[in-house]
Amino acid sequence: MADASKTPNWIMAIAAVASLVLMVTVPVVVHLFNSGAETRRALSDYKTHVAEQYATKGDVRELGDRMERQLEQGFKQIEMLINSRKEK
Q: Where are the domains of the chain?
A: 1-54, 56-88
Most confident of 35-39, 41-45, 52-56: 41-45
15 has a pLDDT exceeding 50: yes
Label residue 32 by pLDDT band (50, 70, 90). confident
Question: Which H or E element spans position 43?
Answer: helix 9-53
Q: How far apart are CA 64 and CA 69, in angstroms?
A: 9
Burial 78-88 (b: 16+ CB within 10 A, else e): eeeeeeeeeee
CA distances from 61 to 23, 54, 55, 58, 74 (A): 57, 14, 10, 5, 20
pLDDT for 1: 46
Average pLDDT, stretch 2-13? 74
Q: Quote the pTM value.
A: 0.44
Report residue 87's pLDDT band, with 50, 70 and 90 as the boundaries.
confident
Rounded to whole angstroms, how far apart are CA atoms 42 and 56?
22
